[in-house]
Chain A
Amino acid sequence: MIVEQIMKRDVYALTPKDTLNDALKLMREKSIRHIPIVDDEENVVGLITSHDVKNALPSCLKEENNPTIYDTPIEKFMVKDVIVGHPLDFVEDVAITFYESKISCLPIVSGGKLVGIVTSSDLLYAYIELTGAHQPSSKIDIRLKDKVGTLADVLTLIKKHHANVLSILVFPDTENNDSRIISIRIRMMNPLSIITDLRNNGFEVLWPNVPGVNL
């Protein structure tokens, strides 16, 4: 999956000369936490987050009030060396960037112009789409030996039951180094015939997969 498939294209942006108050209002109105700052040519020149805004404003506990702060241009508070992404970036790489740089938003730039934005919420949603049940289905986890062809054996068996596979995930087995867990979502309410068949063929089926409970 690449960024252009998940990015938001209607980006709320401001210019460096807009005020802190403009940023505050926009964040509240649109329920957003990040605003890219662009110049007249739509080049990304900065980014302001809700965290930056809060830091800039005086504490509500303080007696003295400084109303002029609200009218200060954003350029005084914004981050200037912004990490940006490209529409053709892999979503997985964006996740790594978020994780390693400890950020949660990436303005997407193409042809020198701001064309979109991806936030950690968008990434999470993409993940939800991968693992969720969007059609009625059962999920079975299977512990597979880490060797060639085992997945194909499982799928051949499922095909025999005319069951439609909706999604497959493969992840490391935390208990066993030489095996993996595959998680298959199939469109059927009664997977017992498949489970029995899998077990008869020597596969370890975890249905349900509750670590520490082997029943």
Chain B
Amino acid sequence: MKNAVFVYSPEQLSYKFSDSHPFNHKRLLLTIDLLKNIDALSDDDIIPARVATDEELELVHDPKYIDIVKKAGHGLITAEQAEPYGIGTEDTPIFPNMHEASSLLVGGTLQAVDYVMQGKSKHALNLGGGLHHGFRGRASGFCIYNDSSIAIRYIQEKYQARVLYVDTDAHHGDGVQWTFYDDPSVCTFSIHETGRYLFPGTGNISERGNGQGYGTSFNFPLEAFTEDNSFLMVYEKALREVIEYFKPDVLFTQNGADAHYFDPLTHLYASMKIYREIPKLAHELAHEYCDGRWIAVGGGGYDMWRVVPRAWSLIWLEMNDYPIPTGKLPEDWLNKWQKEAPVPLIPTWEDPNPLFEPIPRKAEIEEKNAQMLIKALNIIRSEKK
């Protein structure tokens, strides 16, 4: 059995809205190049993504919506006609062959699932996936097909396993949460910046699931300007308690890298420190509870030059038990990409210190997060008594 596989096909880069759109999968290229430069990734580790079939997409999506996506990508409908489906908007513009490109991201996650669930590898990573905002019949927040929802349904049907979905993107994992809101065999866990201002606005602690699924949806909304320590305190305590409570067969993590100070869309003010710790705990718990079964996908991350390549590399390094890298990034990588980057690249694995001016009201923000954590976990803690 392999330890871990890295799912990637160059064609995954065709999921591209425009040059100026914040979601840009060139991030994949930057990450792979960084990993290859430090000799942590070889071509033997990489398995190609496959195309998800319509039948697989229909595990979650409405056939009519799939048809609209196909038509939009082939120039058969106008932006106005596609808009009721969330396509052709500023967030999710139409681009050529958008159905094909989106299906390849979904298929990549399904490849990762098959490798892990068939015991061909312990862990699998598809950084092209993690499109957690996609809804049954509507694109939302840069996401067309929801690879994570589809993959979890696929795991349920093909492998009859209980899935814990852990979403550390700075935005609430709404699409996945609502897909499994009534389902007690999937537990969704999302830690994110509060939806008071940030998209999509949901992800309150009171969203706990519905009917049979009540108590299998967990949300940890953090204050703006939360910073590393408070983020990690909540993440570590919450994840340990939730996994102990739910006891999944497989761990599925969404690794959006948009909580960083540099990220233009969010306000959590985290640093590279959280991207060292997030996969570390996921890895540890996957071995403790799931016999190592850990599927990881990408997600958001809108500073693709200074944040995403370093953050995502750390997931792969953790999966393969490499020590956490320190010091300078490889010179070749820096020279190659600095030419294209509109901002000076960060030359080290660590962030500059200090990264920003001290935040006023820091103690209150931490206190509020700690209070939120107690309320969010109340359902587990009261059951134990």
A residues in contact (CB < 8 Å) with B: 132-133, 135-141, 161-163, 185, 187-193, 207-210, 212-213, 215
In the complex, the number of residue pairs spanning A and B with C-beta atoms less than 8 Å apart equals: 79
| B208 at interface by CB-CB < 8 Å | no
Contact of B225 with A213 in the complex, beta carbons under 8 Å = yes
Contacts of A188 in B (CB 8 A): 89-91, 199
A133-B202, A161-B90 given; name 15 further pairs at CB < 8 Å: A133-B195, A136-B199, A162-B90, A188-B91, A189-B140, A189-B199, A189-B200, A190-B22, A190-B91, A193-B90, A208-B224, A210-B223, A212-B361, A213-B224, A215-B267
Central interface residue in A187, A193, A207, by most chain B CB within 10 Å: A187
Contacts of B265 in A (CB 8 A): 189-190, 192
Chain B, residues 179-216, CB within 8 Å of chain A (1/0): the string is 00000000000000001111111100000000000000
| B323 at interface by CB-CB < 8 Å | no
Complexed CA–CA distance, A118 and B267 (Å): 40
Contact of B202 with A209 in the complex, beta carbons under 8 Å = no
Q: How would you classify the secondary structure of chain A's contact residues: helix, strand, loop or mixed? A: loop
Contact of B90 with A163 in the complex, beta carbons under 8 Å = yes
Q: Output the nearest chain A residue to B88 by Cβ-Cβ distance.
A: A162
30 A-B residue pairings within 8 Å (CB atoms)? A133-B201, A135-B201, A136-B133, A136-B200, A136-B201, A136-B202, A137-B200, A138-B201, A139-B196, A188-B89, A188-B90, A189-B133, A189-B142, A189-B171, A189-B200, A189-B265, A190-B91, A190-B142, A190-B199, A192-B22, A192-B264, A192-B265, A208-B197, A208-B198, A208-B267, A209-B197, A210-B223, A210-B225, A213-B359, A215-B267
Contact of B225 with A190 in the complex, beta carbons under 8 Å = no
Q: List residues 78-96 of chain B with CB under 8 A from any CB of chain A.
A: 89-91
Q: Output the nearest chain A residue to B174 by Cβ-Cβ distance.
A: A136
| B73 at interface by CB-CB < 8 Å | no
Complexed CA–CA distance, A193 and B195 (Å): 19
| B327 at interface by CB-CB < 8 Å | no
